[in-house]
Amino acid sequence: MKKQTDVAIEAQIVRGAFYLLLLVAGTVMAFFDPEAPTKVSHPAAAGLSFAERVSYQRAIEEVYWRHRIWPKENLNPKPSLDAVMSQVQIEKKVKDYLHNSQALEDYLQRPITGEQLQAEMDRMGRDTKQPEVLHELFDALGNDPFVIAECLARSVLSERLITSFAHEKRDGRLALAEVGANSQTWKITLANATYKLPTISDAATGCTPDTWTATSTTNAPDGRFSHTAVWTGTEMIIWGGLTRSGALKTGGKYTPSTDSWTATSTTDAPSQRDGHTAVWTGSEMIVWGGANSSGFLNTGGRYNPSTDSWTATSTTDAPSRRVGHTAVWTGSEMIVWSGFTFDGDFKYSNTGGRYNPSSDSWTATSTTDAPGGRRGHTAVWTDSEMIVWGGTNGTDYFHTGGRYNPGTDSWTATSTSNAPTGRQFHTAVWTGSEMIVWGGNGIGGPFDTGGRYNPTTDGWTATSTTNAPTGRILHTAVWTGSEMIVWGGCSDNDCLMVSNTGGRYNPGADSWTAASTTNAPTARSAHTGVWTDSEMIVWGGEDASFAPLNSGGRYCAQSGASTPTPTPGPLQLRAQQQKVGGINTVRLNWRYATSPNIDIYRNNVLIATQPNEPGVYTDSTGDTGQAQYRYMVCEAGTQTCSNEVLVRFPR
Give the tens place of pLDDT for each residue, 238-254. 999 999 999 999 999 99
Query: 435 in a domain, yes or no?
Result: no
- Checking phi first, is residue 57 left (phi over 0); if not, alpha (psi -120 to 50) or beta? alpha
* pLDDT class of 188 with cuts at 50, 70, 90: low
Please identify, among 166, 181, 196, the residue that sits at the C-terminal boundary of a domain.
Answer: 181
Please identify, among 161, 181, 201, the residue that sits at the C-terminal boundary of a domain.
Answer: 181
pLDDT at 577: 84
Please identify, among 151, 181, 211, the residue that sits at the C-terminal boundary of a domain.
Answer: 181
| Residue range 194-240, pLDDT digits in tens | 899 998 875 544 578 899 999 999 999 999 999 999 999 999 999 99
Domain that residue 120 falls in: 14-181
Task: Report how far apart the first and last C-alpha atoms of the chain are (Å, whole number).
Answer: 54
Query: 410 in a domain, yes or no?
Result: no
CB atoms within 10 A of CB 202: 8
More confident residue, 21 or 477: 477
> Given a cut of 90, is residue 302 above it in pLDDT?
yes
**Chain center to CA of 502:** 20
Query: 80 in a domain, yes or no?
Result: yes
Element housing 631 (H / E): strand 627-635
Longest dimension (CA), the chain: 80
Element housing 130 (H / E): none
Rounded CA gap, 110 and 161, in Å?
10
Rounded CA gap, 352 and 326, in Å?
9
Dihedral Cα 75, 79, 83, 86, nearest 10 deg: 140
> If we measure between CA atoms, which residue out of 374, 400, 401 comes closest to residue 385?
401
* Range in 34-38, 60-64, 454-458, 584-588 the model is least confident about: 34-38
More confident residue, 123 or 48: 123
Dihedral Cα 461, 378, 7, 521, nearest 10 deg: 60
> Given a cut of 60, is residue 51 above it in pLDDT?
yes
Helix (H, G, I), strand (E, B) or coil at 613: coil
**Chain center to CA of 257:** 14
Identify whether the C-beta of residue 478 lies closer than 8 Å to the C-beta of residue 545. Answer: no
Q: Which positions ≥6 away from 51 have C-beta within 8 Å?
A: none
- What does the chain come to in residues? 651
Query: 505 in a domain, yes or no?
Result: no
Rounded CA gap, 58 and 65, in Å?
10
Identify whether the C-beta of residue 59 lies closer than 8 Å to the C-beta of residue 148. Answer: no
> Given a cut of 60, is residue 320 above it in pLDDT?
yes
Backbone angles phi, psi at 635, to 5 degrees: -65, 130
Helix (H, G, I), strand (E, B) or coil at 383: coil
Query: 86 in a domain, yes or no?
Result: yes
- Tell me the residue ranges of DSSP E strands in 523-604: 528-531, 535-539, 552-556, 572-580, 583-591, 597-602
* Range in 165-179, 327-341, 480-494, 517-531 the model is least confident about: 165-179
Identify whether the C-beta of residue 449 lies closer than 8 Å to the C-beta of residue 442. Answer: no
Rounded CA gap, 311 and 106, in Å?
34
Give the chain's radius of gyration (CA, Å).
Answer: 25
Identify whether the C-beta of residue 178 lies closer than 8 Å to the C-beta of residue 121. Answer: no
Identify whether the C-beta of residue 624 lies closer than 8 Å to the C-beta of residue 646. Answer: no
Query: 158 in a domain, yes or no?
Result: yes
Rounded CA gap, 251 and 262, in Å?
9
The one-letter amino acid at 647: V
Percent of the chain with pLDDT over 90: 61
DSSP assignment, residue 174? H
**Chain center to CA of 53:** 29
Q: What is the mean pLDDT of residues 311-336?
A: 96
Which stretches within 29-113 are classed as H helix?
Answer: 50-67, 81-84, 87-106
Provide the number of structural domains found in the chain. 2
Rounded CA gap, 233 and 231, in Å?
6
pLDDT at 624: 79
Question: pTM for this one?
Answer: 0.75
Q: Which positions ≥6 away from 436 have C-beta within 8 Å?
A: 428, 429, 450, 451, 452, 453, 463, 477, 479, 484, 505, 507
Rounded CA gap, 631 and 574, in Å?
9
> If we measure between CA atoms, which residue out of 585, 617, 623, 613 comes closest to residue 601?
617
Query: 644 in a domain, yes or no?
Result: yes
Element housing 293 (H / E): none
Q: Which positions ≥6 away from 615 have C-beta within 8 Å?
A: 589, 590, 591, 593
Rounded CA gap, 440 and 216, in Å?
30
CATH number at residue 585: 2.60.40.10
More confident residue, 109 or 236: 236
Three-state SS for 404-430 is EECCCCEEEECCCCCCCCCCECCEEEE
pLDDT at 286: 98
